[in-house]
Chains A and B, each alone.
Chain A
Amino acid sequence: MSTPSALRRTAIAAIAAAALLVPALPALADATPSAGASGGAAGRSKTSFVIGMKNEPDSLNPYVGVEAISYDLYQLMYDYLTEPSATDMSPAPALAERWETSADGKTWTYHLRHGVKWSDGQDLDADDVVYSFQRSKDGETENGQYGSYVDPIEKITKVDQYTVTMTTTEPSPSMLHLAVPIVPEHVWKNVTAAQVGTFANDSSVVGSGPFQLAEVKKGQYYRFTANKQYWNGAPKIDELVYQLFKDDDTMVQALKKGDIDFAEDLTAAQYNALKGDANITLHSAPSTFVYELAFNLGAATTENKPIGDGNAVLKDLNVRKAIDHAIDKKVLVDKVLQGHGSVATGEIPPLYPKLHWDPTDADARQFDPAKANQILDQAGYAKGADGIRVDKSGKKISLRLFGREDSEDSKSSVQYIRDWLKDIGIEVKTQIMSTEQLTDVIGKGEYDMFHWDWGVEPDPDFQLSVFTCDQRSTEEDGAISAGWSDSFLCDPAYEALYKKQKTIIDLDQRAAAVKEAQKWLYDNVVYSTLWNGHVMEAYRNDRFTGFVEQPSTGGSLAVQFGTYSYRAIQPYVAPAAAAKESKTGLMLGIAGGVVVLLIAVGAVVMVRRRGTADERE
């Protein structure tokens, strides 16, 4: 029984609601996040470059934080004697303008740049350099970080205000790749040895680098302001913000919506989700990361005391060879990485062409499950009734394989590896854990296999050092401290090869020695190297331009050995770019209007029914 008056009331209500919203539309349209970096954005007088990332730095203290992103942040705040060049990562002058080496390669003289100032106005001179290196030598925590660089150095002397000489016990090629940050003596002398481990360095940071720490909101973002007095030229942006994201979808959407300008370290899935947007440039290039399946070769401390509970079968080279043959690395690259990577063999990635090593066809191990089965059969590991092999003591071979919780690739890979190893009769139990827990477990030797990666530096010494006897865990007062070794290899043959490359100054000769070492590692299946990853990045090309790749043959744009991109990028000046925003505003308006309309109609209906309720009863 509808009455004209009721219908009219509804119509009036609806029109009124719509009328209320119309003036609100333009306001809402303006209110949505607009292209902030281009000139003329409301209320934005400085240029802010926002990078989205998923991993949080573990510490801003250069002697403490070990996450890759932490090292990136040290580079913003501090300078180094030399830096890897943007073209090919060879040593380029930084704080050291020029240098000389003695004929025997044991004395190095660095001539420091004049006029570099700390952010508090004081001069940066030889005292700071000597202090930084000496501290890395003497302090336990500090040495844990930079030991591989400073241990070969015997003496550090200040010659004059801008000259430093260092003498080494052996000729050391790493002296041009000393990635030891130069910190201000006048600040750090007040941080005692007892305090350094817990010193956060997250406020009032004094540094000489291109950016200075402005604000830290743990779990959210890290804000840096540009150092306009930087000796290598002022950055063209005013502010650099690292924004943390908890999950992948969020970061993808944030880049699309313009909340961030750059997304780094993307997964293949995120990369795919960003395709097809004209404002977003995608970049996939070889990275410094090599991914491996690591084995427990017999965990023991530096005093050769066995620790942990690794399965002894992994000490058998045949077993490791068979495992390596059973893994189809090409499938991993195709399916897990969706093509963003290449199969790996040597420990140094192809990004370093002079040092990269590939086995000859004769030495290379292909994906060959039949051969793997053959090797295991011949080595005496017979298959049981359930298809799983037994070891020499008659026990079923069951290995633990750990993957990392923060990496989808890791989680997927361990499943593939588990199934491949089952085909050759090895039972694998996978477990996903956090990187903290995994580090802990490795240090204690309580593992069989795990999946992880290394970011290889321009100087190969550190990477090769992790396989040495000295880098195994140490024990003190019953507590075990991990070193850098995650294989617990301790072999005199390798020790010799490592020491050899460590003392050759000539680049080509050293390259040969480095390749020898890689060959040894490959032949002895210390790792089952899986793939060389790509670094996948994306940025808003309508906001910023001028990114610098490192190396120039193809490499990363953001997280580099150096701050090239951060210093070179500038806002992209575009023609009118406001076309997109009003859509969101419009939708806001429409949504709001619909809601109000529904409420209005609902209210009218209820009132009407109330009125007729009497009659209905």
Chain B
Amino acid sequence: MTTVAWTRRRFAVSAFWRSFRADREGLIGLISLLVIAVIALAAPLLASATELSPTKATGPVLAAPSLEYPFGTDDSGRSVLLLVIWGSRVSLLVGLAATLISMVIGTVVGVAAGHFGGAGGFLTRFAGGTLNRLTEWFLVIPYLPLAIALMVVAIRYNLPLVLAVIIVIGITSWPSTARLVRAQTLAIEGRPYIERAKVLGAGHWHQMTRHVLPNVMPLVLANTTLTVSIAILAETTLSFLGLGSGDSISWGTIISSARNHVAMSNGQWWWFLFPGIAVVVVVRAFNMCGRALERILDPRLKERS
């Protein structure tokens, strides 16, 4: 059984890859992400720690973009290009890590809510119903005030800030994944082969992991890319409000610095334009991949491309 299953899976994956390759938007998105990932990983080679230190920076203060400093310099004389490159690390790290947390929690809760909520004895339905209620309730709480409150706590109690931001964003974004996963779980559970598995004596765990989960994963994957883009935007926003990564350089902190130094009235547009463009480029790349994945995985959409 397993070899057959594996062959089926491999075939499905390569078919998937072929569809993805054919989707122009998705391909561009993916390539962009790879380039960005390379830049982020190579950042330590491109920007030495000394050039990022305000005490060691040697550039002219607040200089407009030039050949030597393509993105201009900031108030300490640091190259904004280097700051943007370095900032990609925090933004991407937080985005990906927070999404991981959100996905794990969301998938677990969603599958459980869907599986237990559908059928079975009273207790299981109650458990599923409660999980569903919980999801709905958390969905209602607007994410930014909650994130702000949690970050204020983290700052006050001196918790490591980057970790705090990751956890906070993860906690505030799991409900939408959970809801999506739950709906998908319910749809899957209606299919005949699940019934057969149950009749054959498959327990809850087996059903959830062997049948529901693999079928839910593609949707979760599509949702992941969209969640990453939301997480990156959230991190940038929190950093901009002064609640983010504290000491570390991230795109949000660069823009916040620019604003606090009256860059607007001083006409220092490069200071807040380029970090923002970086955010848009990265988030857009994730969105493009997400949209491509949705197109490939949604059977209705497939008919009409």
Q: Is the CB of A273 within 8 A of B76?
A: no
Most buried by A among B56, B246, B263, B264: B264
For window 167-215 of chain A, which residues contact chain B by CB distance below 8 Å? none
Q: Which residue of A lies closest to B264 (CB)?
A: A249
Q: Does B61 contact A (CB under 8 A)?
A: yes
Tell me which of B155, B247, B266 contacts A269 (CB under 8 A): B266
Known: A252-B262, A252-B265, A267-B262. A335 touches B246 (CB 8 A): no
Interchain nearest-CB distance for A54 vs B (Å): 12
Give Cα A432–Cα B253 distance, bound, in whole angstroms: 13
Q: Are A419 and B54 in contact (CB under 8 A)?
A: yes
Residues of B within 8 A of A419 (CB): 53-56
CB neighbours of B261 from chain A (8 A): 248, 267, 269, 408
Q: A99 within 8 Å of B by Cβ? A: no
Do residues A420 and B262 form an inter-chain contact, with CB atoms below 8 A? no
A412 touches B75 (CB 8 A): yes
Give the complex CA separation of A335 and B264 in angstroms: 19
Given A248-B260, A408-B260, A430 and B246 contact (CB-CB distance below 8 Å): yes
Classify the secondary structure of A's interface with B: helix
For window 258-283 of chain B, which residues contact chain A by CB distance below 8 Å? Answer: 259-266
B242 within 8 A of A: yes
B246 near A273: Cβ-Cβ < 8 Å:
no
B202 to chain A, nearest CB (A): 53
- Picked from B55, B242, B247, the residue with its CB within 8 Å of the CB of A416 is B55
Interface status of A415 (Cβ within 8 A of chain B): yes
Q: Are A420 and B265 in contact (CB under 8 A)?
A: no
Is A431 in contact with B260, judged by CB distance below 8 angstroms? no
Known contacts being A269-B261, A270-B265, A273-B262, is A331 close to B158, with CB within 8 Å? Answer: no
A335–B53 Cα distance when bound, in Å, is 13
Complex formed: what's the CA distance from A536 to B238 in Å?
31
Contact B158 A249 (CB under 8 A): no
**Shortest beta-carbon distance, B267 to chain A, in Å?**
8
Q: In B189-216, which residues have CB < 8 Å from any A CB? A: none
Question: Cβ of B54 and Cβ of A412 under 8 Å apart?
Answer: yes
Which residues of A have CB within 8 Å of B266?
269, 272-273
Say whether A331 contacts B55, CB under 8 Å: yes
- What is the CA–CA distance of A249 and B156 in the complex, to the nearest angstrom? 29
User: Which residue of A249, A405, A412, A431 is within 8 Å of B262 (Cβ)?
Assistant: A249
Which B residue's beta carbon lies closest to that of A331?
A: B55
Q: Which of A294-340 contact B (CB under 8 A)?
A: 328, 331, 335, 338
A553 in contact (CB, < 8 A): no
Chain B, Cβ-Cβ closest to A255: B265
Q: Is A374 an interface residue, CB under 8 A from the partner? A: no
Q: How many angstroms between the C-alpha atoms of A248 and B266 in the bound complex? A: 11
B293 shortest CB reach to chain A, Å: 36
**Interface: A253 (CB within 8 A):** yes
Question: Per a CB cutoff under 8 Å, which of A249, A338, A412, A437 touches B259?
Answer: A249
Interface check A104, CB cutoff 8 A: no
Please name all residues of chain A whose beta carbon is closer than 8 Å to the beta carbon of B246 when the two chains form the complex.
430-432
Partner among B54, B242, B263 whose Cβ is within 8 Å of the Cβ of A415: B54
Decide: A253 and B76 in contact? CB cutoff 8 A. no
Shortest distance from the beta carbon of B159 to any chain A beta carbon, whole Å = 11
A363 CB within 8 Å of chain B: no
With A249-B259, A430-B247, A432-B246 known as contacts, the answer to whether A416 contacts B54 (CB < 8 A) is: yes
Judge if B77 is at the interface, Cβ distance under 8 Å: yes
Q: Chain A residues near B61 (CB, 8 Å)?
A: 335, 338
Contact check, B265 vs A273: say whether CB atoms are below 8 A apart. Answer: yes
Is residue A491 contacting chain B, with contact meaning CB distance below 8 A?
A: no
Within 8 A of B (CB), among A413-444: 415-416, 418-420, 429-433, 437
Q: Across the interface, do A335 and B54 meet the contact criterion of CB distance under 8 Å? A: yes
| Cβ–Cβ < 8 Å partners of A615 in chain B | none
A335 touches B77 (CB 8 A): yes
Instruction: Tell me the B127-181 residues at the A interface (CB within 8 Å).
Output: 155-156, 158
**Which residue of B is nearest A328, CB measured?**
B55
Q: Which residue of B lies closest to A274 (CB)?
A: B265
- Residue A617, interface by CB 8 Å: no
- Cβ–Cβ < 8 Å partners of A433 in chain B: 155
B254 to chain A, nearest CB (A): 13
Asked whether A247 is an interface residue with its Cβ less than 8 Å from the other chain, the reply is yes
CB-defined contacts of A247 to chain B, threshold 8 Å: 259-260
Q: How far is the CA of A338 from the CA of B266 in the complex (A)?
A: 14
Q: Once the chains are docked, how many angstroms separate the CA of A405 from the CA of B246?
A: 12
Across the interface, which residues of B come within 8 angstroms of A418, CB to CB?
A: 247
Bound together, the chains give a CA A328 to CA B76 distance in angstroms of 14
A233 to B263 alpha-carbon distance, docked (Å): 43
A466 to B84, CA, bound (A): 44
**Closest residue on chain B to residue A429 by CB atoms:** B247
Residue of A nearest to B158 (CB): A431
Given A252-B262, A412-B54, does the pair A335, B156 have CB atoms closer than 8 Å? no
Task: Tell me the smallest distance from the CB of B158 to a CB of chain A, in Å.
Answer: 7
Chain B contacts for A270, CB-based, 8 A: 262, 265
Taken together as a complex, chains A and B put the C-alpha atoms of A151 and B54 apart, in Å, by 46
* Residues 16-56 of B at the A interface (beta carbon under 8 Å): 53-56
Q: Is the pair A412, B265 in contact by a Cβ cutoff of 8 Å?
A: no
**Nearest CB of chain B from residue A270's CB, rounded to whole Å:** 5
Contact partners of B75 in chain A: CB under 8 A: 269, 335, 412
CB distance from B185 to the nearest CB of A (A): 44
- For B158, the chain A residues whose CB sits under 8 A away are 431
CA A21 to CA B54, docked complex, whole Å = 53
Q: Please provide the chain A residues from 468 to 519 with a CB less than 8 Å away from any CB of chain B in the complex.
A: none
Docked complex Cα distance between A75 and B56 (Å): 45
Contact B76 A412 (CB under 8 A): yes
Least Cβ–Cβ distance between A128 and chain B, in angstroms: 45
Question: How many angstroms from the CA of A335 to the CA of B58 in the assembled complex?
Answer: 11
Cβ-closest chain B residue relative to A273: B265
Q: Evaluate contact between B156 and A437: CB separation under 8 angstroms.
A: yes
B242 touches A432 (CB 8 A): yes
In whole angstroms, what is the CA distance A412 to B247 when docked? Answer: 11
CB of A273, distance to nearest CB on chain B (Å): 4
Q: Look across to chain B and name the residue whose beta carbon is closest to the beta carbon of A414.
A: B247
Name B77's closest neighbour in chain A (CB-CB): A335
| Complex CA distance for A267 and B247, rounded to whole angstroms | 22
Using A269-B266, A335-B54 as known contacts, say yes or no to A405 and B156 having CB atoms under 8 A apart.
Answer: no
Q: In the complex the two chains form, is B265's CB within 8 Å of A249's CB? A: yes
* Contact of B155 with A420 in the complex, beta carbons under 8 Å: no
B165 to chain A, nearest CB (A): 15
Closest to A423 in B: B55
How many Å from the CB of A75 to the closest CB on chain B? 29
Contact partner, B265, options A253, A328, A335, A431, Cβ 8 Å: A253
Q: How far is the CA of A430 from the CA of B155 in the complex (A)?
A: 11
Q: How far is the CA of A335 from the CA of B76 in the complex (A)?
A: 6
Annotate A249-262 by CB proximity to B: 1 below 8 A, 0 otherwise: 10011000000000
| Complex Cα–Cα for A416 and B53 (A) | 8
Q: In the assembled complex, how far is the CB of residue B287 from the closest CB belonging to chain A, in whole angstroms?
A: 29
Map CB proximity to B onto A225-254 as digits: 1 under 8 Å, 0 otherwise.
000000000000000000000011100110
Residues in A whose Cβ lies below 8 Å from that of B54: 335, 412, 415-416, 419
- A-facing residues in B47-93 (Cβ within 8 Å): 53-56, 61, 75-77
A331 CB to nearest B CB, Å: 7
| Ranked 5 nearest A-B pairs via Cβ | A273-B265, A269-B262, A269-B261, A419-B55, A252-B265
- The 7 listed contacts between A and B (C-beta, < 8 Å) are A267-B261, A272-B266, A273-B266, A338-B61, A411-B260, A412-B54, A415-B54
Interface positions of A (Cβ within 8 A of B):
247-249, 252-253, 267, 269-270, 272-273, 328, 331, 335, 338, 405, 408, 411-412, 415-416, 418-420, 429-433, 437
For the complex with contacts A331-B55, A419-B53, A430-B247, 13 further pairs of A-B residues with Cβ separation under 8 Å are A249-B264, A252-B262, A253-B265, A269-B75, A269-B266, A270-B262, A270-B265, A335-B76, A335-B77, A405-B242, A415-B247, A429-B247, A432-B242
